[in-house]
Chains A and B, each alone.
Chain A
Amino acid sequence: MKRNIRNVLIATVLLFSVLIGYLLYFEFFKKDALLTSDYNRRLWEEENKMVRGSIVDRNGQAIAETVTEGNNRRRVYHGGKSMGPLIGYNNKQYGRTGIEAAYNKDLLGVETKNPIQLFRQDILGIDDKGNDVVLTIDSGLQEAAYDELDGRKGAAVAINPQTGEVLAMVSSPGFDPEDIDDNWKELQSDENSPMFNRATQGLYPPGSVFKLIPLSAALENIDDLDDTRFHCSGATDVNGLTIRDFNSTAHGDIGIDRAFEVSCNSTFINLGLKIGTKEMRQYADGFGFNKELDFDLPVKKSVYPNKLSKKELALSSIGQADVLATPMQMAMVASAAANDGTIMQPYLVKDVMDSNGKMKSSTESDEYLKPISQTTAQRIKDMMVDVVEKGTGRSARISGINVAGKTGTAEVQDKESHAWFIGFAPADDPQIAVAVIVENGGGGGKVAAPIVRNIINDYLK
C-alpha cells in the first residue's frame, strides 16, 4: 500500500508540475498577444493614464499624435483621407484599426517600465507617455498618390525594392480618421467602403501584370525561347474557348520581347500551356502567391489555384481565371524584377522610439523571397523598359528617367475592366517600385500608367 501512496504522490507532483509548466508557457509565449485584445479593458484604463505615442512618417512628420488641451487629451490625425485606411483610428467607442491597432501596445507602452523612470515622472509630474512609431511611409508621396487616384476606387502601393520599405500605401476612396465620430454611420454604409484597405485586403484578378510570372518561368525553363516565333491572330482558341487580345489586335508573327511589349495574350497563353500547371504554380508561389505574408498589417493571401483545367491554365497565364492578387502582392512582383530577382521583406514600421527619443526597436532589411535569378531579373527589367519605351506602357514615360513597367487590363464580368500598372524606376538603380489598380477603370496603359508615372516622378524629383 505504501507503493500505491507513493504513486499517488508522484502523480500529484506531476500534475502540478505540468500546471506550473503551463503557467510559465502562458507567461512567456502567450500573454503578450492576449493582452493586446480589444476586450482587455486594462488597455483603455492605461490609455487614460498614458499619453498615447505618436505615429510619424519617415521624415519625422507627425501623422497621428495626442495633444493635451487642459485636462482633455485628443488624438489628432494629419494627412486626411489618404491616411485613414493605413493608419486607422483609435476610438473608445469604435475600437482600433490599421497601425493604431497593430501597434497599440507600443503606442501605449504597456510593457514593463523602468521603475526609476516612473518614480521620476511621478515626482516631476510628467505624464507617462507611450512609444512613438516611425513609419517607412513618406507622407508627401502618400498624399500625392491618393490625389492621383482622384476619388476613383483603387489602390496604390510603393515599395523601395532594395530595402522592402513601404513608401506609400493608398486605398481610395479613403477616410479621415478625424471624422470618425461625426461620420461613423455614413462611413459604415458607404458602398465604396472607404474604411477598407484595398492595398492589403483587396483581391483582384491581376490581368496582364501577372504575365511577369509566366515570363519568368519561360525564360528560365524554355531553352530556345529567344528563337521561337509566336503567331497571333488577335484571338486564341483553347478547347473551344476563344480568348481575345486587347481590342482583338492581331500582333502577327512576333518574338517573346515584342509579345511582352504589346502584352500579346495569344503568345502568353501558348507559353502558359507549354509551361504547365505545376511549374506555373511553382513560380507564382515563388513570387509570394498562396503565402501568408508576415507584415505590419494583415494582408490577404494572393491566390494562384492548385488544380487547373487546360482552359483555366490558359486564362491564368494572362492573370485571369481564378488568379487573384492584392496590390501589395503586385508591388512585390515588380520589386523582384527591380531588385535582381530578390523580394525584400516588406515593412511599414522602421523604428519604435520611447518617450525620451531612445530607440526601442528598429527593423532591419531582410530578404524575403528569391523567385528568379539575377540574369532573368535583368532580362525582364530590359523588357519592362521596352514596354514603357515602345509598348503598351508609353504613358508611364518620364523624360530623363528610365522607367520599367507592365500594364494590365483585367477583365471583370459585366463591368469595365480593372486598370493595372506595375513599374519601377530608375531602371538601372531602382529606388521605387509601384503597383496601381483602378477598379473598373478601363485600360491599364491609359488609366493606371499615368498614375504610376506621377507617383514615381513625385518621389524621384
Chain B
Amino acid sequence: MTRASRHYKVMLFTLYLFLIICFSLLAIKSDPFDPKPIYMGLGYMAIITIGFITMRIFALNGDAMLFMLSNFLCGIGLVMLYRVDENLAYRQFIWITGGIALFIVITFLFKYYGQVMSNYKLLAFFSLALLAVTIIFGKEHGGSTNWLKIGGIQFQPSEFVKILFCLASASFLKDHKEQKDVIIYTVFVLMVVMLLFIQKDLGMAIIFFLTGMVFVYTATGVVKYPAIGLAMLAIGGGASYFMFSHVRVRFEAWLNPWMDVPGKSYQIVQSLFAIGAGGLFGSGLGLGHPEYIPAVETDLIYSITVEEFGLLVGLAIIIIYLLIFVRAYLSAMASEKTAKQLLLTGISSMLAFQTFIIIGGVTKFIPLTGVTLPFISYGGSSILTSFCFLGIMNSLSIEEVQQQ
C-alpha cells in the first residue's frame, strides 16, 4: 500500500466518523428516537464508498483527494440540511448521488476534451443562448429571474453556463492571445455579464467577470488587462449603484447594516448574529437558530454551519476549499498543454470566486450577493455543476499523472 493511499484511507475513515456522529446526533435529538438520519448517513457512506472503489478500480492514480475533500463539504452540507429541513436533505442526497456519478463519468469522458474544445464559437453561442432564453422564459426566484422550468424540472441555467463559459474561454484563448483577441473575448464576457445583470443575478455576474479576467491574465500574462478589468468593475459597480435600486440596497446594507435591520439588512444582520453566536466551537448541532436566518438552506448555509459547528469548522471549510483550488492550480502548472492549463485555472478560479463571494458576503466582509456555496448549499444545479467542474479537474490531473 502506498503512503498516499494510506492517507486517503485515513481521510475516508475520518469522513465516516464525522458522518456517523452527526447523523446519530440528529437521530438522538428527535424525540422519540428517529432512525431515519442514520439510514441517510449510512446511505451516503455507501455512495462515497462505491464512488471511491469505482475510482480506484478504473483510475488507479487519479487525484482521489479532490473526491475526498468535496465529499467532506457535501457531508457537512447534508448534515446541516437534514437539521434544517429533512425533506430538502432527501433531495440533496439524490443530487449528491447524481453529482458523484457525473463526476466519475466526466472523469472518464473528459479525456476527449480535445473534441469538446474544438469549437469555441458553438460553446460561446450556447452560453449566450441559454442565458437569453432564461431572460425570456425565466421564473423569478428571490429577486432574480434566473430559473427555467422545463417539464416540471426547475433548474438554474446560469450554473450550467459556468461550464460552457469556461470551456468556451479556454478553447478560444488557447490560441488567441493578441490584443484584438482579448478585446473580442472581453465583448463576449461583457455580454454574458449583461445578460446575468438583466436577470438581476449580481453575484453570478461578478463571478463571470472576474473569471474572465483570470482567463485573460493566465493566457496573456499582461498585468494591464486585469488592472483594466478591475477599473471596469469599479466603474460599472459605481454606475449601477446610482442606476439600480437593488444594487444600492445591497451596498447600503453592507455599509451600515444597522440602518434598517427589519428591512434591507435583515439577511446580513441575522447572518452575523448566527456567526457571532456560534463562537469558536459552535452551539452544537441542532442547538442553533436556523429559523431566524433567511435562505438558510442555500445562500446562507455557511452562517448556520458556523453557528452550530463553530468558527473553527467554518475556517476548516475555507481551508478545504483552498486545498481543492490549490490542487487544481498545481496540476495546471504541471501540465504542458495550454488548453488544459487555462481550463484548470479558469474553473478553479470560478469556484474560488463563488466561494469567496458568498462566504465574504454572509460575514459582511464584502456586500452580500446571493450565490450558492459550492458542494454545501442545497440545489441540484449547483451540486451537479460543481461536481462536473470537479470531474474536469480530476480528469485533467489524471492525465497529468499518467504522463509523468
Residues on A facing B (Cβ under 8 Å) = 1-9, 12-13, 15-16, 19-20, 22-24, 26-27, 30-32, 34-35, 37, 39-42, 45, 112
With contacts A4-B221, A16-B322 known, is A35 near B273, CB below 8 A?
A: yes
Contact A4 B273 (CB under 8 A): no
User: With an 8 A cutoff between CB atoms, is B200 at the interface?
Assistant: no
> Min CB distance, B368 to chain A, in Å?
14
User: Do B273 and A20 touch across chains, with their CB atoms under 8 A apart?
Assistant: no
Bound CA span A3–B329, Å: 11
Q: How long is the Cα–Cα vector from A395 to B261 in the complex, in angstroms?
A: 53
| A22 and B352 alpha carbons, distance in the complex (Å) | 17
Q: Check B279–A26 contact: CB distance below 8 A.
A: no
Which residue of the partner chain A has the closest CB to B355?
Answer: A16
Q: 23 A-B pairs, CB-CB below 8 angstroms?
A: A1-B221, A1-B338, A2-B333, A4-B217, A5-B345, A6-B333, A8-B349, A9-B326, A9-B333, A12-B325, A12-B349, A13-B326, A15-B352, A16-B352, A19-B360, A19-B363, A19-B365, A23-B314, A34-B272, A39-B261, A41-B289, A41-B292, A42-B292
Q: How far is the CA of A129 from the CA of B11 in the complex (A)?
A: 42
**Please, which residues of chain B bring their CB within 8 A of the CB of A13?**
322, 326
Interface string of B297-329 (1 = CB under 8 A from A): 000000000000001001100100110011001
* Least distance between A129 CB and chain B CB atoms (Å): 19
The residues of B that contact A19 with a CB separation of less than 8 Å are 318, 356, 359-360, 363, 365
Contact A42 B289 (CB under 8 A): yes
Q: How far is the CB of A14 from chain B (nearest CB, A)?
A: 11
Query: Which residues of the other chain, B, contact A39 by a CB distance below 8 angstroms?
Result: 261-262, 269, 273
Report if A8-B329 is in contact (Cβ < 8 Å); known contacts: A23-B315, A26-B276: yes
Q: Is the Cβ of A42 less than 8 Å from the Cβ of B318?
A: no
Q: Would A40 and B273 be within 8 Å (CB), given that A4-B221, A8-B214 are in contact? A: yes
B341 at the A/B interface (Cβ < 8 Å)? yes
Interface size class on chain B is 35 or more
Residues of B with C-beta under 8 A to A40: 273, 277
Complex: A4 Cα to B349 Cα, angstroms: 13
In this complex, what residue of B is CB-closest to A30? B276
Known: A5-B218, A12-B325, A15-B352. A31 touches B275 (CB 8 A): yes
- Total cross-chain contacts (CB, 8 A): 106
Q: B244 CB to closest chain A CB, in angstroms?
A: 26
Residues of B within 8 A of A4 (CB): 217-221, 345
Contacts of B214 in A (CB 8 A): 8
Cβ contacts under 8 Å, B392 to chain A: none
Q: In the complex, A208 Cα to B358 Cα: how many Å?
A: 61
Cα of A2 to Cα of B340 in the assembled complex, Å: 12
- Taking chain A's interface residues, is the majority helix, strand, or loop, or is none over half, making it mixed? helix
Residues of the A chain whose Cβ atoms lie less than 8 Å from the Cβ of B220:
4
With the chains together, A3 CA to B262 CA distance in Å? 49
Tell me whether B64 is interfacial, beta carbon within 8 Å.
Answer: no
Residues of B within 8 A of A45 (CB): 289
Listed in ascending order, the chain B residues whose CB lies under 8 Å from chain A are: 214, 217-221, 258, 261-262, 269, 272-273, 275-277, 279-281, 289, 292, 311, 314-315, 318, 321-322, 325-326, 329-330, 332-333, 338, 341, 345, 348-349, 352, 356, 359-360, 363, 365
A22 and B363 contact, CB distance less than 8 A: yes
A35 and B276 contacting across the interface, CB-CB below 8 Å:
yes
* C-alpha gap A13/B352 in the complex (Å): 10
Measured between beta carbons, the chain B residues less than 8 angstroms from A22 are: 363, 365
In-complex Cβ contact of B218 among A8, A12, A15, A24 (8 A): A8
In the complex, what's the smallest C-beta–C-beta distance from A459 to chain B, in angstroms? Answer: 41
Q: Which residues of the other chain, B, contact A12 by a CB distance below 8 angstroms?
A: 322, 325-326, 329, 348-349, 352
A27 to B278, CA, bound (A): 9
Q: In the complex, what's the smallest C-beta–C-beta distance from A4 to chain B, in angstroms?
A: 5
Point out the residues of chain A lying under 8 angstroms from B281, CB to CB.
112
Contact A5 B332, CB 8 Å, known A15-B352, A22-B363, A35-B273: yes
Judging by beta carbons under 8 Å apart, are B356 and A15 in contact?
Answer: yes
Distance in angstroms from A283 CB to nearest chain B CB is 37
Q: Contact partner of A26 among B219, B352, B363, CB < 8 A?
A: B363
Instruction: List, in ascending order, chain A residues with CB within 8 A of B269's CB.
Output: 37, 39
Pairs A-B, 10 closest by C-beta atoms = A31-B276, A9-B329, A4-B221, A4-B218, A39-B261, A40-B273, A2-B333, A35-B276, A22-B365, A5-B332
Other A-B pairs, 16, CB within 8 Å; known A9-B329, A20-B318: A2-B333, A3-B221, A4-B218, A12-B329, A12-B349, A12-B352, A19-B359, A23-B314, A23-B318, A26-B275, A27-B311, A35-B273, A37-B269, A39-B269, A41-B273, A45-B289
List the A residue with the shortest CB-CB distance to B292: A41
Min CB distance A116 to B, Å, is 15
Q: How far is the CA of A45 from the CA of B360 in the complex (A)?
A: 28
Is A112's CB under 8 angstroms from B279's CB? yes
Chain B residue numbers with a CB within 8 Å of A3 are: 221
Instruction: State whether A23 touches B363 (Cβ < 8 A).
Output: yes
A4 CA / B215 CA spacing, docked (Å): 10
CB distance from A85 to the nearest CB of B (A): 25
Q: Within the complex, what minimum Cβ distance (angstroms) separates A332 from chain B?
A: 31
